[in-house]
Amino acid sequence: MGVINSFLHFKTQNIDSKAIKPEDIQQASKVLFSLFTRYGDTIIDLVVVKEFIAKYPNKEYLILCPRQMQPYVGELLPNIECISLNKRNIFDMIKIDFKLKKWHPDIGFNPWSNGLDSCYFLTYCKYFHCYKDFDKPKIVNHYQIVRKYLLLKQNPWDIQNFSNKSEYENILICPQSTDFDRSISATQLKQIILDLNSKYSGASITIAAIDSSYFKPGCDRFFFHKTKQSSQAFINLVKSSELVICADSAPLHLSLAFKKNVKAFFYTTSPEVVLNTNSRVGVINA
């Protein structure tokens, strides 16, 4: 790992990272996206990258990402080539070096990815703008900042509420965030389950979490693991759920991308900053 870090520092110390112009995108035939960031930010990236591809459909695209994120790329962008790798594995680095030298991408982006590794992959492009060099406003909607970085239209922010159905068969609760202050508290989670059992007595409730302390009696359990298999299993779980109850976390963004009925609990963050415009979601400011 130390050798790879030293190599990345050396290769990125004098790179020519500068803002991409609209004409650069229009003239490009091959576009690289290097997505090595947090789980939730990657889902946000994929939603906006989908908009980018819709605007510029007649190009070749390649997405690089960690292995556990490849199923999400395949689900949200099924027709786009994606290569997953372990950036700590020297053999993976050699393989991607060979691929990028052969492919010759024209432009490259790495939204929400501040690491040297994601920026290094962009250096294979003719033109590239590392996200760490992007002039970002201090407070901005997470989706809008990616649109700005990719030179896409900034849409006015608005969300749509939804009305609960009279019955649900499958309910998914994702109470945990990587930021503890954003997670649904044990007391609140207990109350949520009581309310669901009272209102939807025949519903199957699944709790998905990394920390087993969130699991409760009478509810099915889903453990998150950093593997492709776990990611695909969670995708299948979200798709089969009729109602998803989330903290401000990655499953929230995935559920919204799948157009699920979602209730989102916000404790320390603002929906205006976190949610995509036109999201259909019940916001609970806890």
pLDDT tens for 140-157 read 899 999 999 999 998 889
Domains of the chain as residue ranges with CATH: 2-149 (3.40.50.2000), 159-285 (3.40.50.2000)
pTM higher than 0.85, yes or no?
Answer: yes
What HEC string does the chain produce?
Answer: CHHHHHHHHHHHCCCCCCCCCHHHHHHCCEEEEECCCCHHHHHHHHHHHHHHHHHCCCCEEEEEECHHHHHHHHHHCCCCEEEECCCCCHHHHHHHHHHHHHHCCCEEECCCCCCHHHHHHHCCCCEEECHHHCCCCCCCCHHHHHHHHCCCCCCCCCEECCCCCCCCCEEEEECCCCCHHHCCCHHHHHHHHHHHHHHCCCCEEEEEECCHHHCCCCCEEEECCCCHHHHHHHHHHHHHCCEEEEECCHHHHHHHHCCCEEEEEECCCCHHHHCCCCEEEEEEEC
pLDDT by position in tens, the chain (length 286) = 577 777 777 678 778 889 999 999 999 999 999 999 999 999 999 999 999 999 999 999 999 999 999 999 999 999 999 999 998 888 998 999 999 999 999 999 999 998 888 899 999 999 999 999 999 888 789 999 999 999 999 888 999 888 888 899 999 999 999 899 999 999 999 999 999 999 998 899 999 999 999 999 999 999 999 999 999 999 999 999 999 999 999 999 999 999 999 999 999 999 999 999 999 999 998 7
